[in-house]
Structure 1
Amino acid sequence: MKVKTIDDVYVGQKEEFSKTISENDVYLFAGITADYAPHHINEEFAKTTVYGRRLVHGMLTASLPSACTSKIVSPGAVSMGHEFRFLKPVFIGDTITAIAEVIEINQEKKRVKIRTYCTNQNGDLVLDGTTLQYMKV
């Protein structure tokens, strides 16, 4: 497997990944993270909330762009951090498209800044953020 370098990456480079979030995905994520908040896993409780149905964990949604980011910079990069905002709720059954797009390259510091965002099946922006990747090689 060829290790990627900063020279393999270019501004405007983009990757996408789509996934329909299932009830099982939410239960598995709850188990992995020990986040059993009832608005995620309890249908009856969720009916009493402002949204009236179960929400997908925000961090589950926030993790989806990593599938795209890794296609751009891996193997060969190390994440230096992520910043993001949740803009709209994501519900079980929603189809989320995660997108990662290179927006800045710093050759001297070997850093790549990537915009990471997610849209739902209606095209609504549900998450927007960036990640900074260090291309050590």
Structure 2
Amino acid sequence: MLDNMPRGTICIEDIEIGMTRSLSKTITDTDIQLFAEISTDHNPVHLDEAYAQDTIFAGRIAHGMLTAGLLSAVIGEQLPGHGTVYLGQTLKFLAPVRPGDRVEASVTVTAMDIGKRRVTMDTVCLVDGKPVLKGEATVLAPSRKFD
């Protein structure tokens, strides 16, 4: 379950460099199973504990893109929010996320091109304060001029 978070839209005209938004979610077995079904990625490192014990992870891990999806939730629901269009995202996976881990996904505005409505953001996911994923997102933000 996601922590309560503000939802809505921050238009390009109101976005400032340094603005940050985040959410936290505990990754459950159900999340991993549902993501496997939706994505059709049934890699046993995500679903089979006996198999996963013999991997470099020594146990099951969540799909990396499940963790990355939390960044999409922050961008699509909070900053900039509803009406945002993803243009690009880089991802570097730094550590595994396991069932039961609480992930904090955050985005911070680092650059803007107001004329083109483009916003660049640092993106990060933390577990116990340690980065498990870092990257950069570029999005097309909503504008009051196009309401």
Q: Normalising by structure 2, what TM-score?
A: 0.86
Distance in 2, matches of 1:57 and 1:27, equals: 10
Match for 1:105 among 82, 107, 112? 112
In structure 2, runs of 5+ residues without a counterpart are 1-7
Once the two structures are TM-superposed, the CA of residue 94 in structure 1 deviates from its matched residue by 0.8
1:28 aligns with 2:34: yes
- After TM superposition, the runs of 4+ consecutive aligned structure 1 residues lying more than 4 A away are none
- CA distance in structure 1 between the partners assigned to 2:109 and 2:139 by the alignment: 10
TM-score, normalised to structure 1, is 0.92
What is the aligned residue count? Answer: 136
Using the TM superposition, name which of 127-136 and 78-87 deviates more: 127-136
Pair 1:9-2:15 in alignment: yes
Output the CA distance in 1 between the equivalents of 2:9 and 2:98.
37
Which runs of structure 2 are paired with 1:1-137 in the superposition (5 Å)? 4-70=10-76, 71-121=78-128, 123-135=129-141, 137=143
Identity %: 36
User: Distance between the aligned counterparts of 1:3 and 1:60, measured in 2?
Assistant: 23
The residue type equivalent to 1:45 in the other structure is Y
Please give the root-mean-square deviation of Cα atoms over the aligned residues, in Å: 1.7
Shift of residue 3, structure 1, vs aligned partner: 6.0
Aligned partner of residue 29 in structure 1, secondary structure: helix
SS in 2 for 1:108: helix
| CA displacement, residues 42-67 of structure 1 (integer Å, 9 cap, x when unaligned) | 01111111221101100001111122
Aligned partners of 2:41 and 2:83: how far apart in 1? Answer: 32
Q: Secondary structure at the match of 2:60?
A: coil
